[in-house]
Amino acid sequence: MKKSIGARTLAFPTPVWVVGTYDANGKPNAMTAAWAAICCSKPPCVSVSLRKATYSYGSIVARQAFTVSIPSEKHVKEADYLGMATGREVNKFDHARLTPVESILVDAPYVHEFPLILECRLLHTLEIGLHTLFVGEILDVKADEEVLGEKGFPDIEKVKPIIFGPEIRTYHGIGKYLGKAFAIGKDL
């Protein structure tokens, strides 16, 4: 018997991704978002949902671009900080001792210390309610050499992305390997 918990943003897993932008003065900013996903294969796209009140919101609209920097679990404190402070008041990169790197492809900075980066140009904007969903076309993915695995792709066990649990407000790491996708279901 399932118990009703009400209309809540309660689903697992959600990602911990850091959205990079430049403000009107060219100051780099970074904010953590968990309401985010890959949302299309062709063209490859991600969505990030931000509240209009965030400082990053205006920067995305103005620059029509953003990056997504995916932190490793060793940077979980920095990721948490980037979700609490506002770029309106501080330079979050400086405070968190992180290094902004200017993307060559889009008008936005990414986080040098994080192992996996997406560079995105704004493709669609969808107003939903408290949050606005931005769809960005992924123009390139960049990764640190040391997280690359077989076939030259990033290895999830080396990237060690962070998982966020909404409502329960916890962070978790990546756990054990469960199987090969598009393969293990053939046994049924």
Q: Is 10 helix (H, G, I), strand (E, B) or coil?
A: coil
Nearer to a second copy, 61 or 163 (CB): 163
- The interface region with a second copy, picked from 22-30, 53-61, 169-177 by CB under 8 A, is 169-177
Instruction: Give the nearest distance from C-beta 59 to a second copy in angstroms.
Output: 20
Q: Are 109 and 99 in contact (CB under 8 A)?
A: no
Instruction: Among 52, 77, 88, 90, indicate the residue that binds a second copy (CB under 8 A).
Output: 77
Q: Nearest Cα to 80, choosing from 111, 119, 34?
A: 34
Q: Are 12 and 160 in contact (CB under 8 A)?
A: no
Q: Chain centroid to CA 97: how far?
A: 19
- Examine residue 102 and tell whether it contacts a second copy (CB under 8 A): no
Between residue 118 and residue 147, which ones bind a second copy under the rule CB under 8 A? 118, 123-124, 126, 128-131, 133, 135, 137-145
Between residue 142 and residue 161, which ones bind a second copy under the rule CB under 8 A? 142-145, 148-149, 151-157, 159, 161
Phi, psi of 102 (to 5 degrees): -75, 125
